[in-house]
Structure 1
Amino acid sequence: MSALPKPFRDALDNRARQALAHWGIAGQEPELLKYRENAVFRVHLADGRPAALRLHRAGYHSAAALHSELQWMAALGNSGLAVPQPIATTDGRLLVALPEGGAFAAQHADVINWMDGEPLGESGKPLSHSPERLVEIFSALGASMAEMHNLADRWTPTEGFWRPTWDEDGLLGDRPLWGRFWDCEGLSPAQAMVLSALRGDLRRHLATLPTPAKDFGLIHADLVRENVLVGEAGVKLIDFDDAGYGFRLFDIATTLLKNRREPAYGRIEAALIAGYRSRRALSAETLSSLPLFLVLRSLTYIGWFSARPELPGARERVLRYADEALALTKELGFT
């Protein structure tokens, strides 16, 4: 995490304490862990237990969407899956609205329980585990992902439940969830031209998916290395900020994409699929569409960084992710 200017950091800490007052624990120094989509702090509850405070990015998700995220995490946790659980305020709310003030627009905050474990890895850095340990981890991750999909299919959301939809429109429509990757700021004219043509090709591929590959329902949508915690007891899934309705292959592709250059990738992919199949059906016909979803996932990063020019190196990343996505497209036979 890049160092924030001290005046802003001080204001951010004060904003965190403003939120913590709703849980009756404002008299502490919150520890900033991440400042990206959300500002995430490690805090302590009144009984001393650690927890995570999230200050949500203003305007990114509605109150209904955030309530729904917390509701689904609670349902998964109640069914035995290792995911964060929401913690209510002193007056019983799971989500609080913070008014506009100072450097901050109106935004929402929540507190979830602390999840022990170490992140599986960090994007752009080689995984540190042995190949044998990676097989254990990705097998457990595949099983947890499949169980999450099973639980989602059995669960009935309450009225008003809303989460984004990672369908054809959410990925390739005029207003994709993570941005118009084919004509966003920062692309070269050549990249924009090829990506625009690719978008049309991918829409045709999605329209002709084999029936088993159309498995669709609630997904995590961002099970990258940083969102998988590893410990002796197995794996834990965190950061449901982008969870919504989508193709189950999109979850699998998201986990695999950033590991494709790992020396042990063949074992990683086989372990993830075997773990998934231990809990949920996944046919060879379904897996034949995995390359399509690897490409779709790679394209999302272009729009994501283009929409966040304030992040360090955002423009360079847009260009790099565009080149990487087009190289992957060629490698997997889509051009």
Structure 2
Amino acid sequence: MTGTVETALDLWGLAGARSDLVAARENAVYRVEQGGRTVALRLHRTGYRTDAELASELQWMAALAEGGLNVPAPVAARDDALLHVVDGVQVDVLGWLNGRPLGASGVPLEHPDRTGLFRGIGREMAHLHALSDAWSPPPEFTRCRWDRTGLVGEAPVWGRFWDNPALSEADRALFRDVREVAGAELRALGPDVDFGLIHADLVRENILVDGERLHLIDFDDGGFGFRLFDVATTLLKNMREPDYPALRDALIEGYRSVRPLDPAPLDLFVLLRAASYVGWIAQRMDEDGAAERCARYAAQTRGLAGAWLEARAPIADGAGRGLQSHEDVQT
């Protein structure tokens, strides 16, 4: 990648700048420093997004940054383009944001004011949605859709979770039931459900804490979707925290301080977010540790699915139970 990075830096007028690889998840991200200036150089995973999708992502991020949200602002190359393809790799440059990731999945959360932190996340998430609603995307704007089709249709955004080949027959049957019942519930939400541009991946690694400020990064999976899907994504990775109910309530409270939110269908979206990881990992089973992650994702989804389906089954007293506890849920 050295030659690709050097060529990309030259396109952005940064030839000879120091570059250090700081992340290698879906994309390779380099911290680039020159003359007191710091930016992030992104080399995108081949084949994950089209040029049109990435151009749309950058336009959206520019609008959010201009609106005052703490997100990385795109940096134009010397020819004013925001995106280039170098050696077959899609490349762009973003402004650098200071701060440290909120945490890592599976590691106990450490923060002195946990509920205050989650109220802040809720506020930032709501500001993202509000700014997105106020923005008019250009006609050529194209991003994925986390709608009913994108979650439980024939070809979901992150894959057919019920067809993951590593699943047991029992899990496949259970997840097919989830797909059927969830599809009906999504259809029943009706036209008034809050839907629009969402980040879709506000996990701990994509929230930077910089003193009292929170920065939202990595819009790779952003697109059109249910606003509760953003809420569910953040909550899913924190369900094993001992104070999870308080964190959940704080996030919702923070969100509602900016714009309305109806959390009634939230359990549905927590389950669908968990299930999406089962589809996602099926396409990455050749990676190190994939088998263990797949088993963990399946177990998490199995636990959530059992509780969610049970709550919808007719029982004697007509009462059901939602996903209000961190117990029996793995992250």
Q: Is TM > 0.5 for Structure 1 vs Structure 2?
A: yes
Aligned counterpart in structure 1 of residue 91 of structure 2, from 109, 123, 134: 109
* 1:275 alignment partner in structure 2: 254
Task: Note if contact 1:137-1:230 (Cα within 8 Å) is conserved in structure 2.
Answer: no
* 2:233 alignment partner in structure 1: 254
* 1:20 alignment partner in structure 2: 9
1:203-257 CA-to-partner distances (Å, cap 9, x unmatched) read 1111112665x11000110011111111223211111111100000000101111
Name the SS of the counterpart of 2:162 in structure 1. Answer: coil
Question: What is the correspondence of 1:196-215 to structure 2 with a 5 Å cutoff?
Answer: 196-209=176-189, 214-215=193-194
* 2:173 alignment partner in structure 1: 193
Distance 2:120 2:30 in 1: 28
Change (3 A) 1:257 1:326: same
Distance 1:185 1:50 in 2: 44
* 1:266 alignment partner in structure 2: 245
Aligned counterpart in structure 1 of residue 69 of structure 2, from 74, 78, 81: 81
Query: Which amino acid in 2 is paired with 1:34?
Result: A
Report deviation, 1:31.
1.1
Distance 1:89 1:266 in 2: 46
* 1:157 alignment partner in structure 2: 137
Report deviation, 1:136.
1.6
Aligned counterpart in structure 2 of residue 296 of structure 1, from 248, 256, 272: 272
* 1:30 alignment partner in structure 2: 19
Name the SS of the counterpart of 2:3 in structure 1. Answer: helix
Aligned counterpart in structure 1 of residue 124 of structure 2, from 138, 144, 150: 144
Distance 2:32 2:77 in 1: 14
Distance 1:30 1:277 in 2: 41
Aligned counterpart in structure 2 of residue 49 of structure 1, from 17, 24, 37: 37
Name the SS of the counterpart of 1:308 in structure 2. Answer: coil
Instruction: Verify: 1:174 aligned to 2:154, yes or no.
Output: yes
Instruction: Verify: 1:90 aligned to 2:78, yes or no.
Output: yes
Distance 2:166 2:4 in 1: 33
Name the SS of the counterpart of 1:170 in structure 2. Answer: helix
Name the SS of the counterpart of 2:197 in structure 1. Answer: strand
Instruction: Verify: 1:122 aligned to 2:104, yes or no.
Output: yes
Query: Which amino acid in 2 is paired with 1:298?
Result: A
* 2:321 alignment partner in structure 1: none
Aligned counterpart in structure 2 of residue 322 of structure 1, from 286, 298, 303: 298
Change (3 A) 1:334 1:14: farther
Task: Note if contact 1:59-1:107 (Cα within 8 Å) is conserved in structure 2.
Answer: no
Name the SS of the counterpart of 1:190 in structure 2. Answer: helix
Task: Note if contact 1:253-1:293 (Cα within 8 Å) is conserved in structure 2.
Answer: yes
Name the SS of the counterpart of 1:315 in structure 2. Answer: helix
Distance 2:142 2:95 in 1: 23
Distance 2:167 2:13 in 1: 47
Change (3 A) 1:96 1:334: farther
Name the SS of the counterpart of 2:161 in structure 1. Answer: coil
Report deviation, 1:334.
5.4
Query: Which amino acid in 2 is paired with 1:201?
Result: V
Query: Which amino acid in 1 is paired with 2:207?
Result: V
Identity of aligned residues (%): 48
Q: Which runs of 5 or more residues in structure 2 are unaligned? A: 314-331
Q: CA RMSD in A?
A: 1.5
Report deviation, 1:51.
1.1
Distance 1:123 1:246 in 2: 23
Report deviation, 1:192.
1.6
Report deviation, 1:330.
1.9
Distance 1:249 1:243 in 2: 14
Task: Note if contact 2:149-2:155 (Cα within 8 Å) is conserved in structure 1.
Answer: yes
Report deviation, 1:267.
1.7
Distance 2:111 2:128 in 1: 25
1:29-48 CA-to-partner distances (Å, cap 9, x unmatched) read 42111212111111124x43
State TM-score, norm by structure 2. 0.90
